[in-house]
Structure 1
Amino acid sequence: MRSLKIGVIDLVCKNPSNSLWAKIMHANLASIMPQVVATWCEQEGHTVTMICYTGSEDLVKELPKNVDLIFISSFTQAALLAYAISNYFRSRGVMTVLGGPHARCYPDDAIQYFDYVLGFTDRRIITELLNNCTPQRPAGKKMCAGKQPASLCGVQERWKFIEPTLKKAPFIKIVPILGSVGCPYTCPFCIDSTVTYQALDFKTITSDLQFLLTKYKRPYIAWHDPNFGIRFDESMQAIASAAPPKSFRFIAESSLSILTEPHLNKLKENGFNALLPGVESWYELGNKSRSAHITGTEKVKQISEHINKVFRYVPYVQTNFVLGLDSDSGAEPFELTKRFLDYSPNAFPGFSLLTAFGEAAPLNLEYQKAGRILPFPFHFLNNHLAMNVKPKNYDWVDFYDKVIDLTEYAFSPKAIYRRFMHTQGFTPKWMNVMRAISSEGWGRLKFYRQVRQNLVQDRSFRKYFEGESQQLPEFYKNIIKKDLGVWWQWLPDTALSHNAYAYLQKAS
């Protein structure tokens, strides 16, 4: 086997961004698997150059030079940029590989633009690819391990690829770590709902935490587990074995069912500073929040009491909601969310529009069977720029009216001030304000208002939303062209559209 020159590109974002939020936080959003793949490739004897694109760099200048093979990791929102980069490299005789969430969600679309498209990836898959890589054209080759790997490179092994990215973060530097893969819950809209839960090696976790103490004093660490703390006692023991209490500052996404008071006490003792529990709906998915038998107002009060209890132990909490679920109808779900914000004013609300990402989840197949999927370009599939599922119980204008009203309520100056006053600590206060006035709060509100206006004033725009037309509105095409900039010229002609019903046709 000859030694290859390999490039690895982690696309944290899809376009240049000079916002303060991007400059401070995007480098902290790096993915773990690109670092793992880069490490595996080096261990196989190849030369690796890795970059993490955060939106602040000149991507043309940053791209690896004189390579034989390029790995690109991308979420669906950055897929068009990934397609353009692949086309650029393939035009120069370089083989390209796509991995990450988009490769899992839309493999049949991606093989048109890459030599290899990777689903679940373990070291065996990488070794096989490196030993036998040849151009795969016109259609690429799909490769998949069948399940998530049982072990991954730890922080110490991949530090060479972590450190350069963290240097781009001017203030807060957050190290990504993974304690488990998969999830025992079966939320039908989630990409992890069909992935078997498995914990990774706890001894490696302890060793990695000890290693990080040689790099930073009280390092910030983000657990990338889909649901942290399933094997709670063992996870806490791994942390406690690494160093004295509160040697670290942790961020984790966890379900409310795990966040019992004894567990919260342990989390506080071990330095957990931020938690991101999913509420999702006031009418379903109660198994994640110990509210399986209650709905509506009763659930709002119970969840609010629980969140307020969490704040007695952890200074920062983001509560996640999905808007537009089939169980929602009328104004009530939106009004209930407002009441929750009143009852728990220090919680930062994370709102997602219901989005079906290709083959990601079982529920997507049902939406396709019902003919409810819209072919929005990948560029807008990030849970807030476009809802590609026609709502079951709302007219589009009515739905956007309610989304706008809720977003205005959550990020009004009054709500921002109230959240600021109820939050303890400088960093949590700063995070809440910055997120509210950035693209996540006020920025989304501006975009939603524009979409709503277009729905009312532009008949062709409305027909696209109703599924009566496949013609992409110029409004969306212009955004893509502006965001891609110099990469627009490299975007394949067919990439703006995709088969939104490929999952159904494959399953038939």
Structure 2
Amino acid sequence: MKTLKIGIIDLVCKGPNNTLWAQTMHANLASIMPQVVATWCEQEGCSVTLVSYTGKEDLTKALPDGVDLVFISAFTQAAQFAYALSNFFHSRKAVTVLGGPHARCYPDDAVQYFDYVLGFTTRNIISEILNNCSRQQPVGQFLSAAKQTIELSSVEERWKFIEPTLKKAPLLKFVPMLGSVGCPYTCPFCIDSTVPYQSMNFDLIKTDLQFLLTKFKSPWIAWHDPNFGVRFGEYMNAISEAAPPGSFRFVAESSLSILTEDHLKIFRQNGFKALLPGVESWYELGNKSRASNITGEEKVNRISEHVNMILRYIPYVQTNFVLGLDSDSGADPFELTKRFIDRSPGAFPGYSLLTAFGEAAPLNLEYQKSGRVIPFPFHFLDNHSAMNIKPRNYEWIDFYNKVINLTSYSFSARALYRRFKATPERTPKWMNLMRAISSEGYGRLRFYQKLRQKLTEDKAMRRFFNGESNEIPSFYTSIIKKDLGIWWDWLPKSALHHDVNAFLQKNHACT
């Protein structure tokens, strides 16, 4: 095999972005697998340049001239940006590969624009691509292992790719680590619901942590596990054996069922500074919170007490909710969330709109069978810019009125003040405030208000939302054009559209 010149692009965002939040935090959102693939390619003798795209890099200059092969990692919200980049690099005679969540969710769409599209990725698959580095168009190849690999590169091996990205973060610098893949829970809307849980090698975790102490006095580490701490004792032993208490500062997404008081004492002792548990709904999905048998007001009381107990041990807590589930109807789900905010003022509420990502989860088949999936461009499938499932129990304007009301309540001056007072440490106070006044709080509120206005005034917009038309409203295409900037000209015209029922058709073809 000849020595290949390889570029790897980790799309942290979906286009050029110079907001305060992007400049401060995007470098901390880098993914692990692009770093692993970069390491594997170097070990195969290739020349590798990796760029974690935070919104301010010039990708026409960030990669060296004459690259043979370009790997792009993207979430679905960045898919159209990725498609434009693939078209650009094809024009420069490079072979292109797509990995990341979008490749797993929409493989049949992605193969139209990439030479290779990767599902579960192993070193053998990467070697196969390196040995057969050739264009595959007009339709690319989808390659996937039977399951996710846990044989990943160590932090030390990846460090030459981690360090340049961390230098872009002006304040907090989070090193990404992974302790497990898959999830033991089966939330039907989740991409990990059918992926078997596997933990990484705990000795390697300990070695990785010890290596980071040679680079930082007290490193910040973000665990990318779908559900951290399932094998709680082994995780905590690896951390405590790596270095004395207080040596690390950790952020993790975990379930309320794991966050018992006894566990929280150990979390705090081992340096956990932020936890992101999922509440999801007041009426269903209670397995992760040990609340499967209670709903409504009783669940609010139970969860509020639990979250307040967490806040006595952990200074930063984000509680995650999904809005628009089929079990929701009327004002109650939104009003109950307001009561939770009042009773647990120190928790930052994270809201996601119900979204079906292609073939990511079995429940998506049911949405497609019932004709409820709306063909929003990928650019808006980020869990908040669009809900691509027609709600079962709401009309659209009523639904967005309720979302706006809840968002306004959650980020009102009163709520911000109470959250600020209830948060014990300086960094979490700053994080909560910045998130509220930037795109996540006030920014989403302005977007929802503008969207409601368009739904009220624009008949074509309502027809699209109601599934009566597949014509994408200009409201959305103009946003994509603005967000992509110079890359809009490289976006294939067909890439604005996708088959929302591809998963259903594939399923029928296989049965």
TM-score (norm 2): 0.99
**Residue 120 (structure 1) shift:** 0.3
**Residue 146 (structure 1) shift:** 1.6
Q: Give the match for residue 104 of structure 2.
A: 104
Q: Give the match for residue 17 of structure 2.
A: 17
SS at match of 2:350: strand
Kindly report structure 1 stretches of 4+ aligned residues shifted beyond 4 Å: none
Distance, in Å, in 1 between the alignment partners of 2:430 and 2:438 is 12
Q: Give the match for residue 472 of structure 1.
A: 472
Q: Give the match for residue 487 of structure 2.
A: 487
1:29-54 per-residue CA deviation (whole Å, 9 max, x = no partner) reads 00000000000000111110110100
Distance, in Å, in 2 between the alignment partners of 1:39 and 1:175 is 16
1:154-204 per-residue CA deviation (whole Å, 9 max, x = no partner) reads 211100100000000011100000000000000000000000000001111
**Residue 63 (structure 1) shift:** 3.2
1:371-450 alignment to 2 at 5 Å? Answer: 371-450=371-450
- The letter of the residue matching 2:500 is A
Distance, in Å, in 2 between the alignment partners of 1:237 and 1:131 is 41
Contact kept in structure 2, 1:277 and 1:319, CA below 8 Å: yes
Distance, in Å, in 2 between the alignment partners of 1:46 and 1:15 is 28
Contact kept in structure 2, 1:278 and 1:321, CA below 8 Å: yes
1:462-491 per-residue CA deviation (whole Å, 9 max, x = no partner) reads 100001011111100000001111101100
Distance, in Å, in 2 between the alignment partners of 1:215 and 1:426 is 24
Distance, in Å, in 2 between the alignment partners of 1:65 and 1:75 is 26
Contact kept in structure 1, 2:66 and 2:92, CA below 8 Å: no
**Residue 56 (structure 1) shift:** 2.0
- The letter of the residue matching 1:503 is F
1:278-298 per-residue CA deviation (whole Å, 9 max, x = no partner) reads 000001111100001000000
1:209-243 per-residue CA deviation (whole Å, 9 max, x = no partner) reads 01101111111000000000000000000001110
1:333-353 per-residue CA deviation (whole Å, 9 max, x = no partner) reads 000000000000010000000
Contact kept in structure 2, 1:95 and 1:134, CA below 8 Å: yes
**Residue 390 (structure 1) shift:** 0.2
**Residue 82 (structure 1) shift:** 0.4
SS at match of 1:375: coil
SS at match of 1:356: coil
- The letter of the residue matching 1:107 is P
**Residue 62 (structure 1) shift:** 1.7
- The letter of the residue matching 1:77 is Q
- The letter of the residue matching 1:490 is W
- The letter of the residue matching 1:274 is A
Q: Give the match for residue 137 of structure 1.
A: 137
1:300-333 per-residue CA deviation (whole Å, 9 max, x = no partner) reads 0000000000011100000000000000000000
**Residue 252 (structure 1) shift:** 0.2
Contact kept in structure 2, 1:206 and 1:242, CA below 8 Å: yes
Contact kept in structure 2, 1:69 and 1:94, CA below 8 Å: yes
1:260-287 per-residue CA deviation (whole Å, 9 max, x = no partner) reads 1110010000000000000000011111
Contact kept in structure 2, 1:358 and 1:364, CA below 8 Å: yes
SS at match of 1:194: coil
Of stretches 14-23 and 223-232 in structure 1, the one that deviates more from structure 2 is 14-23
**Residue 60 (structure 1) shift:** 2.4
Identity of aligned residues (%): 71
Distance, in Å, in 2 between the alignment partners of 1:91 and 1:20 is 33
TM-score (norm 1): 0.99
Distance, in Å, in 1 between the alignment partners of 2:347 and 2:266 is 21
Distance, in Å, in 2 between the alignment partners of 1:91 and 1:57 is 20
- The letter of the residue matching 1:370 is S
Contact kept in structure 2, 1:50 and 1:64, CA below 8 Å: no
Alignment of 1:199 with 2:172, yes or no, is no
- The letter of the residue matching 1:98 is L
- The letter of the residue matching 1:416 is L
Q: Give the match for residue 286 of structure 1.
A: 286
Distance, in Å, in 1 between the alignment partners of 2:126 and 2:55 is 28
Distance, in Å, in 2 between the alignment partners of 1:169 and 1:250 is 17
Q: Give the match for residue 500 of structure 1.
A: 500
SS at match of 2:496: coil
Alignment of 1:173 with 2:182, yes or no, is no
1:105-120 alignment to 2 at 5 Å? Answer: 105-120=105-120
**Residue 61 (structure 1) shift:** 2.3
Q: Give the match for residue 252 of structure 1.
A: 252
Q: Which structure 1 residue ranges, 5 or more long, are not aligned?
A: none
Distance, in Å, in 2 between the alignment partners of 1:346 and 1:294 is 23
CA RMSD of aligned residues (A): 0.7
**Residue 129 (structure 1) shift:** 1.3
Alignment of 1:316 with 2:321, yes or no, is no
- The letter of the residue matching 1:79 is A
**Residue 59 (structure 1) shift:** 2.7
Distance, in Å, in 2 between the alignment partners of 1:136 and 1:19 is 38
Distance, in Å, in 1 between the alignment partners of 2:319 and 2:400 is 21
Q: Give the match for residue 73 of structure 1.
A: 73
- The letter of the residue matching 1:78 is A
Alignment of 1:297 with 2:297, yes or no, is yes
**Residue 58 (structure 1) shift:** 2.4
1:74-93 alignment to 2 at 5 Å? Answer: 74-93=74-93
Distance, in Å, in 1 between the alignment partners of 2:15 and 2:81 is 8
Q: Give the match for residue 54 of structure 2.
A: 54
Q: Give the match for residue 266 of structure 1.
A: 266
Distance, in Å, in 2 between the alignment partners of 1:37 and 1:137 is 23
Q: Give the match for residue 227 of structure 1.
A: 227
1:88-144 per-residue CA deviation (whole Å, 9 max, x = no partner) reads 111121100000000000000000000000000011111111112221010000000
SS at match of 2:334: helix
